[in-house]
Amino acid sequence: MSEVEKRYESAKSRYAAIGVDTDAALKKLKDIKISMHCWQGDDVKGFLNPGGELTGGIMATGNYPGVATTPSELRADLEKAFSLIPGKHKVNLHAMYVDTDEKVDLDEIEPKHFEGWVNWAKEHGLGLDFNPTFFSHPMFKDNYTLASPDSAVRDFWIEHGKRSRKIAEYFGRELGQTSINNFWVPDGMKDNPIDRLAPRKRLMEALDEVFEEKLNEDYTQESVESKLFGLGAEAYTVGSHEFYMGYGLTRDKLICLDAGHFHPTEVISNKLSSLALFSKGVMLHVSRPVRWDSDHVVLMDDELTEIGREIVRNDLLPITNIGLDFFDATINRVAAWVVGVRNTQKALLKALLEPTEDLKKMELQNDFTSRMVITEELKDFPYGDVWNYFCEQNGVPVGLEWLNEVQDYEKNTLLKRNAILER
Ligand code: RNT
Ligand code: ZN
């Protein structure tokens, strides 16, 4: 028996004593796919318009060496990250990550421009999610895309939205896993608008045009992502939470909740149970807003723990698509992915290791003392031993070991990349 197995056996009996089956928890964890966002790998630059500016109110800061600048570099980095993460997952692509030598614009993209990604996903047993890219483009005009008062601008983006749906449909058909196509639109104003209504009406109507054609939902489903504010859109964001709650619920779309898109003390964990009653499902952008929508790497903090609990305690896994959304360019980008995905899995595991039914019973019986004492004691239970065993079982490094692999990869691959760039 390995050291990891020995520790697992001991943890297993401690959990069994409070009625928790650790083997069952690990079996469930193995089936949970995390959608790993490709854009952490290249600081949200994409391949459509090399050297272009990042617009749309989001920002990546830092210049850590080794950034991916081609689809094959990005895929190599993703592969490295996945080799350090237990389980089989999905990659979340954006339209600007086209893989083609053709000069193609956002209103011209077709499934064939993503064939390289699909072949790669097949080879590695991965799913693919998608996002139309409504930013970093000259047609992002006066801070507007789909909500623009200029019909030429709107039409460009409507065409883009329609094309993105065909690509997501193609992903779903080819890979046999539903591809979630997430719509986030940065449109807004820096200072106080006079008319908040007209842009929202234009956005609603433009989206209705984009979604006119019915597509097979086994292949693709759309989600809509709200936001409170962005850089340059501090006073007003057209696609607010209320806007997309209304839109998503009336148009049968998934609601996307990004952890950084609300008031600084407002949390998304508390929204899941309400959405579960009214929406067909959710897409999560698990992120960490440090004082604002800063998109820091996801750490094991209270909100992540609570997100895991809300999903597991309320049995929301079947209607929840879990994706990540952060971009930190001051650290090794592969490490950023690995920390974010492993933490998200660990938060789910911690929740899976709770005696949920017993705790619910105590609550119903007004036994708030036991509820508090048990949940506090649970924080010191050896979930780390269960996690380590899960990693070993799934053939990925245990504990700190993965850092060595990232460091080797940096030395042998990432740093060489930059040397070539500098020549
Ligand atoms: C921006 C949104 C959006 C983006 C990605 C790149 O505030 O969170 O999800 O981060 O689409
Ligand atoms: Zn997001």
Cα–Cα distances (Å) from 397 to 29, 58, 310, in that order, read 17, 33, 28
Query: Hey, what are 312's tokens?
Result: 């597991």
Output the pLDDT for position 418. Answer: 65
Ligand 1 atom 10, closest CA: 325
Q: Which helix (H) or strand (E) holds 73?
A: helix 71-82
**Is-catalytic flag, 258?**
yes
26 CA → ligand 2 middle, Å: 28
How confident is the prediction for the chain on average, in pLDDT? 97
Query: Hey, what are 250's tokens?
Result: 């009336």
Identify the bridge partners of residue 350 per DSSP, sorted by sequence position: none
Ligand 1 atom 5, closest CA: 325
Q: What is the pLDDT of residues 177-205, one digit of tens each?
A: 999 999 999 999 999 999 999 999 999 99
* Position in ligand 1 atom list of the atom nearest CA 230: 7
Q: Which helix (H) or strand (E) holds 387?
A: helix 383-393
Q: What is the pLDDT of residues 351-375, one digit of tens each?
A: 999 999 999 999 999 999 999 999 9
- Please tell me if the CB atom of residue 227 comes closer than 6 angstroms to any atom of ligand 1: yes
Cβ atoms < 10 Å from Cβ of 383? 21
The residue with tokens 């209270």 is: 302
Q: What is the pLDDT of residues 326-345, one digit of tens each?
A: 999 999 999 999 999 999 99
Q: Is the pLDDT of residue 423 over 90?
A: no
Q: DSSP 3-state assignment of 409?
A: helix
Q: What is the mean pLDDT of residues 108-116?
A: 98
Please state the CATH superfamily assignment of the domain spanning residues 31-79+86-351 in this structure.
Divalent-metal-dependent TIM barrel enzymes (3.20.20.150)
Burial class (CB in 10 A: 0-12, 13-18, 19+), 151: exposed
The model's pTM is: 0.97
209 CA → ligand 2 middle, Å: 23
Q: What is the pLDDT of residues 35-44, one digit of tens each?
A: 999 999 999 9
Query: Hey, what are 138's tokens?
Result: 């000259």
Q: What is the pLDDT of residues 198-224, one digit of tens each?
A: 999 999 999 999 999 999 999 999 999
The residue with tokens 């105590």 is: 362
Cβ atoms < 10 Å from Cβ of 93? 27
The residue with tokens 């080797």 is: 408
Query: Hey, what are 271's tokens?
Result: 């929204």
Q: Is the pLDDT of residue 420 over 70?
A: no
Under the banding of pLDDT at 50, 70 and 90, the label for residue 54 is very high
Contact 129, 35 (CB under 8 A): yes
* Position in ligand 1 atom list of the atom nearest CA 57: 7
Q: Is the pLDDT of residue 422 over 60?
A: no
Q: Is the pLDDT of residue 145 over 80?
A: yes
